Homo-oligomer: A and B are copies of this chain.
Amino acid sequence: MDRFELIRGLKQPSSEKIVLLVMDGLGGLAKNGKTELETAKTPNMDRIARESETGLLVPILPGVTPGSGPGHLALFGYDPLVFQIGRGILSALGVKFPVRAGDLAARVNFATIDSQGNVTDRRAGRIPDEINRKMCGRISEIKIPGSEIFIETEKEHRAALVLRGMEFSEKLSETDPQKTGVPPLPVKPLDDAPASAKTAALLNTFLARVKETLKEEHPANMILLRGFALHTRIPSFSEVFGLNACAIAGYPMYRGLASLVGMEVIEVESGVKPQFDKLREVWGKYDFYFVHVKYTDSAGEDGDFDRKVSVIEDVDKNLGRILDLSPEVLAITADHSTPAIYKAHSWHPVPVLLRSKWARASGVAKFGETELAKGSMGNMPSVDLMTLLMAHAGRLQKFGA
């Protein structure tokens, strides 16, 4: 019996609300003996940590550094080794495209080809976004019977392509020849499934039409496709967990990841205070509230220890806005570590606290990595957090007699 079969069989309704506050890249490493979180003055988090279950979460496996996709999927209860999000899908999510199950997505590069059809520049001279948008507009007018085609500007020469409306396959070769002086490659099916041949044929027809449509343009007179990815395998959050969930996230990637699992994405200005205020505004309409704070991660990536400390302090200062709502279950954690001294995502386990009336108080004096290693939850896989949140909210029946 797999995890989702188990959860589907045990889930039950409850009126209790769950708040999952994710401070992106919160986990850190010590500078002068203390991590960012340990350096920050966090009286509110320290106080609730004392009465919460606490510990450290391992996002994927010990030593495995997660991207934003797997890090969040694990927190949402989706085994990131089972549910892998292809590059094409992440690209589409990154431009806020509302990807649906069954869609096929790919990453697009605008390129330059010569009169013989050979690629002379694989990035079309890194055209400005404005030209990119104009070309996407022209390509969007191409209609191919049996499927809808969407193309959205990302940045410079990059765009995202999404196909919808028939049974697609992602077992396809890419068209980028990875060098100049040769033509773009045709899309070829990589297995014998009828859907692969059919999808390849459709894409080759589309690419011929793109070439025709852009033939008078320069330098962006062709596109190259990479990272074909089908969006099929993700059961929705409400179907698996029985939770009506919303996402209060300011950045496209996280909004995209939330919409990918079927959470309702709330329009909100990015920022600790506006996002926490938005939570108050929609409070009571959902069972589950995913609140995403981006700036801890950005500061970590920039190697700015002090800025990361002050983002954490800002969250703590505003935490009352959430605590006032008295959510029955509150978890504060992260998708991965982004230690400022490491300047990148890392594999280190992330801080977690879980407060509810059924929490076994861990009595830790400080919400910080060193103390949390002694917490009552121990070192736990991130993917196990969801069942624990559900249990605390009275949303899981007993397993077996």
Q: B-contacting residues of A (Cβ < 8 Å)?
A: 1, 3, 6, 10, 29-30, 35, 56, 60-70, 80-82, 84-87, 90, 227, 339, 342, 344-348, 358, 360-363, 369-370, 373-380, 384-392, 396-401
CA distance A84 to B369 in the complex (A): 37
Given contacts A1-B84, A347-B391, A399 and B66 within 8 Å (CB-CB): yes
Contact of A61 among B87, B347, B387 (CB under 8 A): B387
CA distance A386 to B400 in the complex (A): 21
Given contacts A227-B401, A378-B378, A380-B379, A396 and B65 within 8 Å (CB-CB): yes
CA distance A153 to B385 in the complex (A): 43
Contact A373 B384 (CB under 8 A): no
Given contacts A345-B398, A347-B388, A363-B370, A380 and B67 within 8 Å (CB-CB): no
What B residues does A84 contact at CB under 8 A?
Answer: 1, 400
Q: How distant is A55 from chain B, measured CB to nearest CB, in Å?
A: 8
CA distance A69 to B399 in the complex (A): 9
Contact A66 B362 (CB under 8 A): no
Given contacts A68-B401, A378-B378, A396-B63, A342 and B358 within 8 Å (CB-CB): yes
Contact B400 A70 (CB under 8 A): yes
Give the residue name and chain of the B residue nearest to A374 (CB). B374
Identical chains bound together, number: 2
Contact A63 B391 (CB under 8 A): yes
CA distance A396 to B62 in the complex (A): 11
CA distance A347 to B396 in the complex (A): 10
Can you list 21 A-B pairs with a CB-CB distance of less than 8 A? A1-B82, A6-B61, A10-B64, A60-B399, A62-B388, A62-B391, A63-B388, A63-B389, A63-B390, A67-B398, A67-B401, A69-B400, A69-B401, A70-B400, A86-B401, A346-B358, A348-B358, A373-B378, A374-B374, A377-B379, A378-B378
Q: How distant is A75 from chain B, measured CB to nearest CB, in Å?
A: 13
What B residues does A62 contact at CB under 8 A?
Answer: 377, 380, 384-385, 387-388, 391
CA distance A380 to B62 in the complex (A): 9
CA distance A376 to B375 in the complex (A): 10
Give the residue name and chain of the B residue nearest to A28 (CB). B360
Given contacts A63-B387, A399-B60, A6 and B370 within 8 Å (CB-CB): no
What B residues does A401 contact at CB under 8 A?
Answer: 67-69, 85-87, 90, 227
What B residues does A80 contact at CB under 8 A?
Answer: 399-400
What B residues does A85 contact at CB under 8 A?
Answer: 400-401
Contact A391 B65 (CB under 8 A): yes
CA distance A389 to B66 in the complex (A): 16
What B residues does A346 contact at CB under 8 A?
Answer: 358, 391
Other than the given A3-B61, A67-B400, 12 more pairs (CB < 8 A) read A10-B64, A29-B360, A60-B399, A62-B377, A62-B385, A65-B391, A65-B399, A67-B398, A347-B388, A347-B396, A348-B360, A379-B379
Contact A61 B379 (CB under 8 A): no
What B residues does A87 contact at CB under 8 A?
Answer: 401
CA distance A383 to B5 in the complex (A): 20
What B residues does A30 contact at CB under 8 A?
Answer: 360-361
Q: How distant is A382 from chain B, measured CB to nearest CB, in Å?
A: 11
What B residues does A344 contact at CB under 8 A?
Answer: 398
Give the residue name and chain of the B residue nearest to A86 (CB). B401
Give the residue name and chain of the B residue nearest to A84 (CB). B400
Q: How distant is A111 from chain B, measured CB to nearest CB, in Å?
A: 21
Give the residue name and chain of the B residue nearest to A87 (CB). B401
